[in-house]
């Protein structure tokens, strides 16, 4: 049995803990609020501000874990380098966690050091700098906080009147104490994918079948697997993904996002952990779901192959307002639907657009992915989060 310190305890962390429990691992779940989803299934939990470096040091010293696994961005990740020197294993690695928790680090690595194709971009630390960056990039363009998740603080600028609003919104959605934003030219793309990539301790890098997804307000709403894409573009995405994950180092699953347009594949973002769009794998679309793959890579267990077992889709269940006691109605509609399933995350509170659950649907290989995705969306829309 290994002791795992999980830094972040959302719905992705919850599924990871469930996978870890099945293989007899011991997990301490950490987050900034009590009763977070992963805490509900972990052996122990801690409530703390992970941006407090001294408190984070004390936490690691207290639990002395074999593995430190970040699940969110709001962590003092620069401390991870010291933890590695002390003999702790940071997943995927201290460099990977530190670079990918900040869009500036990972974008500069991808574009400048590795030469990957990306959207043109600038940085800004104030509304005035944002205005200058927009004039250089052109409109429309996308503004994102350097530290955020699930699309928080992200918006599109189409006119000069949008600039101040975009700056204010970016600061509201930023995680941590970084006020800087990245400004990207708007890429004309035909579709976007997540390529779940698994790096192993002693094995080759593996790729899951590509996952297509749609976003709203910068956050994923539906995903499906496999995404239909040209083989030449898939190979390019795999090569780019292998290149960046090798440079960052370490083991585990990575959610690597790409835009695909008429002029090729653009690297977009990278998460060094299970990805929200990868919740489609909870429909057993693969021989191992993304959480099981992450755990096995972390523990150094060999993964011989990743195989597509059936097609599938996921659609999120969203809250529409604030509540300290959210409940659900019409779950029976999902439960009674064939080739469907659902997860309720167990979040103790709700707010507008907060993900509270997910519906997954599936069919045999060779089925219609578009139809499976449509079913997932329709079923998720029937579930109401009561406030």
Model confidence pLDDT, tens digit, residues 175-231: 666 688 999 998 889 999 999 999 999 999 999 999 999 988 778 999 999 999 999
For residues 84-102, average pLDDT: 93
Q: How far apart are the first and last CA of the chain?
A: 41
DSSP codes joined into one string, 206-232: EEPPPEEEEEETTEEEEEEESPP--HH
Model confidence pLDDT, tens digit, residues 342-366: 999 999 999 999 999 999 999 999 9
- Residue tagged active-site, from 11, 184, 257, 341: 257
What pLDDT does residue 149 have? Answer: 64
Tokens of 42: 């972990």
What pLDDT does residue 267 have? Answer: 95
- Residue tagged active-site, from 277, 285, 340, 361: 277
- Specify whether 165 is catalytic: no
Tell me which residue has tokens 């409530």: 47
Mean pLDDT of the chain: 94
- Specify whether 341 is catalytic: no
- Residue tagged active-site, from 269, 309, 378, 384: 269
- Specify whether 357 is catalytic: no
Q: Using an 8 Å Cβ cutoff, are 118 and 267 in contact?
A: yes
d(CA 208, CA 288): 10
> Percentages helix, strand, coil for the chain, rounded to the nearest 5?
35, 30, 35
- Tell me the domains of the chain and their CATH numbers: 3-90 (3.40.50.20), 120-185 (3.30.1490.20), 191-386 (3.30.470.20)
Looking at the whole model, is its pTM more than 0.75? yes
Q: Using an 8 Å Cβ cutoff, are 43 and 28 in contact?
A: yes
Per-residue confidence band for 103, with pLDDT thresholds at 50, 70 and 90: confident
φ, ψ of residue 86 in degrees (nearest 5):
-80, -5
pLDDT above 90 (res 9): yes
Cβ neighbours of 57 (radius 10 Å): 15
- Specify whether 277 is catalytic: yes
Query: At CB < 8 A and 24+ separation, what contacts does 108-114 make?
Result: 109/244, 109/247, 109/248, 110/244, 110/267, 110/270, 111/267, 113/247, 114/243, 114/244, 114/247
- Residue tagged active-site, from 276, 290, 292, 341: 276
d(CA 369, CA 307): 17
Model confidence pLDDT, tens digit, residues 270-299: 999 999 999 999 999 999 999 999 999 999
What pLDDT does residue 152 have? Answer: 75
φ, ψ of residue 231 in degrees (nearest 5):
-60, -35
- Specify whether 221 is catalytic: no
What pLDDT does residue 178 have? Answer: 66
pLDDT above 70 (res 172): yes
- Specify whether 257 is catalytic: yes
- Residue tagged active-site, from 8, 151, 218, 250: 151
Strands 44-47 and 26-31: parallel
Model confidence pLDDT, tens digit, residues 33-51: 999 999 999 999 999 999 9
**Sheet strands (E) in 226-318:** 252-261, 264-271, 311-318
For residues 107-135, average pLDDT: 93
Model confidence pLDDT, tens digit, residues 292-324: 999 999 999 999 999 999 999 999 999 999 999
Model confidence pLDDT, tens digit, residues 125-167: 999 999 999 999 999 999 988 876 666 788 899 999 999 999 9
- Residue tagged active-site, from 77, 149, 174, 223: 149
What pLDDT does residue 150 have? Answer: 61
Radius of gyration of the chain (CA): 20
Per-residue confidence band for 87, with pLDDT thresholds at 50, 70 and 90: very high
What pLDDT does residue 318 have? Answer: 96
Q: Using an 8 Å Cβ cutoff, are 70 and 60 in contact?
A: no
d(CA 364, CA 286): 12
Q: How would you class 325 by CB atoms within 10 Å of its CB: exposed for 0-12, middle for 13-18, buried for 19 or more? A: exposed
- Specify whether 296 is catalytic: no
Q: Using an 8 Å Cβ cutoff, are 146 and 181 in contact?
A: yes
Please give the helix or strand (H or E) that residue 20 lies within, else none.
Answer: helix 11-22
């Amino acid at each position: 049995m290994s002791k795992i310190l999980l830094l972040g305890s959302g719905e992705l962390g919850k599924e990871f803990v469930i996978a870890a429990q099945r293989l007899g691992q011991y997990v301490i779940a950490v987050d900034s609020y009590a009763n977070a989803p992963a805490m509900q299934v972990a052996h122990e939990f801690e409530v703390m501000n992970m941006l407090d470096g001294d408190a984070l040091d004390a936490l690691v010293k207290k639990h002395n874990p074999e593995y430190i696994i970040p699940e969110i961005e709001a962590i003092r990740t620069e401390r991870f380098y010291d933890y590695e020197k002390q003999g702790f294993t940071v997943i995927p690695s201290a460099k990977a966690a530190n670079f990918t928790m900040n869009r500036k680090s990972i974008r500069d690595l991808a574009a400048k050091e590795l030469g990957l194709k990306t959207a043109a971009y600038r940085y800004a630390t104030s509304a005035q700098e944002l205005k200058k960056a927009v004039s250089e990039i052109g409109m429309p363009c996308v503004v994102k906080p350097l530290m955020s998740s699930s699309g928080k603080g992200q918006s599109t600028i189409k006119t000069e009147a949008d600039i101040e609003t975009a700056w204010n919104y970016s600061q509201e959605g930023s995680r941590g104490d970084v006020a800087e934003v990245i400004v990207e030219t708007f890429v004309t793309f035909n579709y976007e994918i997540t390529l779940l990539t698994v790096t192993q301790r002693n094995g080759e890098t593996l790729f899951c079948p590509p996952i297509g997804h749609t976003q709203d307000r910068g956050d994923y709403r539906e995903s499906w697997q496999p995404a239909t894409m040209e083989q030449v573009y898939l190979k390019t995405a795999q090569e780019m993904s292998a290149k960046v994950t090798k440079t960052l180092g370490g083991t585990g699953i990575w959610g690597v996002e790409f835009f695909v347009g008429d002029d090729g594949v653009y690297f977009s973002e990278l998460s060094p952990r299970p990805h929200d769009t990868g919740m489609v794998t909870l429909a057993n679309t693969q021989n191992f779901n993304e959480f099981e793959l992450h755990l096995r890579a972390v523990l150094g267990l060999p993964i011989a192959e990743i195989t597509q077992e059936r097609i599938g889709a996921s659609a999120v269940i969203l809250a529409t307002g604030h509540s300290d006691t959210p409940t659900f109605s019409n779950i029976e509609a999902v439960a009674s639907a064939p080739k469907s399933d659902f997860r309720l995350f167990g979040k103790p509170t709700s707010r507008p657009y907060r993900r509270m659950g997910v519906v997954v649907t599936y069919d045999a290989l060779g089925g219609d992915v578009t139809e499976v995705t449509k079913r997932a969306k329709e079923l998720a829309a029937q579930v109401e989060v009561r406030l």
